[in-house]
Structure 1
Amino acid sequence: MADRTISDIATKLKAIDVAMLVTKTGSEDAIAARPMSNNKDVSREDGTTFHFATDDGRIDDDLKRSDQCGATYSEGDFYCAVQGTGKLHRDRATLEQHWVPDLETWFENGLDTEGLVLIEVTPARIAWWEGREQGELTP
């Protein structure tokens, strides 16, 4: 196993724009995944990531029922699986803190988009692989 810090992994995750964000869904707790941008908003301290969505899709309902979630990332020979909890934010101040202008491509009305939410994914475990090296971190 190779030694990597949370900061090392966060730097790599910042460079990978799209993750597959995974939640439990439905009454059977089936697995649902969808692509989500982290907008290069990754905490170097604990690997927390932030993703914008609207509350009219399944992800909002999924996280209300169970905060357990995960995200997978890959680029080249680097792969990462994050397991943790998701929290929905709706307050304007928090949304403004994490907003970047590129998001207007997806949210035409910007911060005024109806039902805009911010999903905060806090990792409990981060597993990574790169070439022949691998490791696991628990922030």
Structure 2
Amino acid sequence: MTLTQADLAERMRAIDTCLVATTTPEGLETRPMSNNRDVEWDGTSWFFALEDTGLVKQATADPHVLVTCTGEHGLWIATTGRARVHDDRTLMAEHWDPDIDRWFEQGVDTPGLRLIEVVGEHVRYWTYEDGDGEIDLGAAAPTA
């Protein structure tokens, strides 16, 4: 069975942690990031980080990123896309989840807080039950 973007979105609701890979002069760097669950995934993923972290610096220097997620029952998802870093507090509030307070105790008012938007361009998935597949999200790269 071929999965649709809506099928993947439904399955991603149960996934809290993704790996986000960015490019550095030395190669790739990957780190776990909260997917914040309970999100309506439309091909775009949102992550919070501080401005002085590698994620923010690397995504600003080269917006090409890879977001991978692993779900229950043999599900793996890899989304390639482009990142855009935001410092807009209103936009941050729209994507805030109280679970993030453990990392950013001052909420959206945390000094240096940034919101990374990853606009997905292409998804590959692998499943035990439904086979493997690809979805072209047809997303345009975010503009500055």
Q: TM-score, normalized by length of structure 2?
A: 0.88
- Residue 14 of structure 1: aligned partner: 13
Instruction: Give, in angstroms, the shift of residue 106 of structure 1.
Output: 0.9
Instruction: Give, in angstroms, the shift of residue 75 of structure 1.
Output: 2.3
- Aligned residue identity for 2:58: D
Q: Distance in 1 between matches of 2:57 and 2:109?
A: 21
- Aligned residue identity for 1:136: E
Which residue, 18, 28, 32 being the options, matches 1:35?
32
What secondary structure sits across from 2:20 in the alignment? strand
CA contact (8 A) 1:9 1:47 kept: no
Instruction: Give, in angstroms, the shift of residue 42 of structure 1.
Output: 4.2
Instruction: Give, in angstroms, the shift of residue 51 of structure 1.
Output: 0.8
- Residue 69 of structure 1: aligned partner: 65
Which residue, 102, 105, 111 being the options, matches 1:105?
102
Which residues of 2 match residues 53-132 of structure 1 at below 5 A?
A: 53-76=49-72, 77-131=74-128
- Aligned residue identity for 1:33: T
- Aligned residue identity for 2:31: R
What RMSD, in angstroms, separates the aligned Cα atoms of the two structures? Answer: 1.4
- Aligned residue identity for 2:47: H
CA deviation digits over 1:77-118, x for unaligned, max 9?
Answer: 111111011111111110111011111011111111111111
What secondary structure sits across from 1:15 in the alignment? coil
CA deviation digits over 1:35-87, x for unaligned, max 9?
Answer: 0011126444x321111111111111101111100111112311111101111
CA change 1:58–1:41 in 2 (3 A) is farther
Q: Distance in 2 between matches of 1:60 and 1:41?
A: 24
Which residue, 47, 52, 73 being the options, matches 2:48?
52
**Identity score, percent:** 36
Aligned length: 135
Q: Distance in 2 between matches of 1:93 and 1:65?
A: 24
User: Structure 2: which 5+ residue stretches go unaligned?
Assistant: 138-144
CA contact (8 A) 1:15 1:40 kept: yes
What secondary structure sits across from 2:32 in the alignment? strand
Over 3 Å off, 4+ runs? 41-44
Q: Distance in 1 between matches of 2:91 and 2:117?
A: 11
User: Structure 1: which 5+ residue stretches go unaligned?
Assistant: none
